[in-house]
């Protein structure tokens, strides 16, 4: 019986030690993973300043294009015959000029930006914003004379706005606790129908 007890005690002690070792290894692995992720997420000051110097003026043009395009869509939704007015067409040209200065998708892809994962992600979202804004301006122009739905243009503008504001938060280190306003959904409506804004817009 004594021998049996001793054997069991030795077995239990050995098993306990293995469990402790496994727990220690697991904790070390988790700690290493957290440190690695933290290091990967952190953007160096030099990379951020480098990217800011490349994109600073361009982001200003994108912001102006987004504001002007939003006003054009609002004006069109209030009265679609405004798209024939000279000042409406002039504003459309201003939007195109700002988008040209911001950069077409292929221009933005050719820029030499810092090799930071987060900066690369933000830059890809800005390339998408360029694509969306170009599509939005074309959609407004193509659909304006029909008096029909410009919800495609509105949706593109919303996603571009969302991408732009996230980029600004990162590049200029906006330290507030506010989240960027989420993308809004715009419902389709029939040709000739003039929807109320409250009925047309809904949150995701």
- Per-domain residue ranges of the chain: 1-32, 53-203
Question: Of 150 and 169, which is predicted with more confidence?
Answer: 169
Q: Report pTM.
A: 0.71
- Residue-wise pLDDT for 100-124, tens only, equals 999 999 999 999 999 999 999 999 9
What was the pLDDT predicted at 79?
A: 81
162 close to 71: Cβ distance less than 8 angstroms? no
Share of the chain above pLDDT 90, in %: 48
Q: What is the DSSP string of the chain?
A: -HHHHHHHHHHHHHHHHHHHHHHHHHHHHHHHHHHHHHHHH---HHHHHHHHHHHHHHHHHHHHHHHHHHHHHHHHHH-GGGGGSHHHHHHHHHHHHHHHHH--HHHHHTS-----HHHHHHHHHHHHHHHHHHHHHHHHHHHHTTT---HHHHHHHHHHHHHHHHHHHHHTT---SPPPPPPEEE----TT----HHHHEEE-
């Amino acid at each position: 019986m004594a021998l049996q007890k001793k054997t069991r005690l030795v077995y239990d002690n050995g098993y306990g030690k293995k469990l402790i070792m496994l727990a220690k290894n697991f904790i070390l692995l988790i700690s290493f993973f957290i440190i690695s992720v933290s290091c990967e997420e952190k953007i160096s000051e030099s990379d951020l300043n480098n990217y800011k110097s490349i994109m600073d003026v361009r982001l200003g043009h994108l912001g102006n294009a987004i504001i002007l395009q939003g006003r054009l869509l609002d004006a069109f939704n209030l009265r679609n015959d405004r798209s024939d007015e000279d000042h409406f067409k002039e504003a459309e040209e201003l939007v195109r000029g700002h988008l040209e200065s911001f950069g077409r998708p292929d221009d933005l892809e050719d820029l030499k930006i810092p090799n930071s994962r987060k900066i690369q992600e933000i830059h890809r979202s800005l390339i998408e914003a360029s694509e969306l804004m170009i599509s939005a301006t074309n959609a407004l122009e193509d659909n304006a004379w029909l008096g029909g739905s410009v919800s495609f243009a509105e949706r593109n503008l919303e996603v571009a706005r969302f991408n732009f504001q996230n980029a600004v938060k990162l590049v200029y280190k906006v330290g507030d606790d506010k989240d960027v306003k989420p993308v809004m959904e715009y419902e389709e409506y029939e040709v000739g129908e003039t929807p109320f804004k409250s009925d047309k817009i809904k949150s995701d």
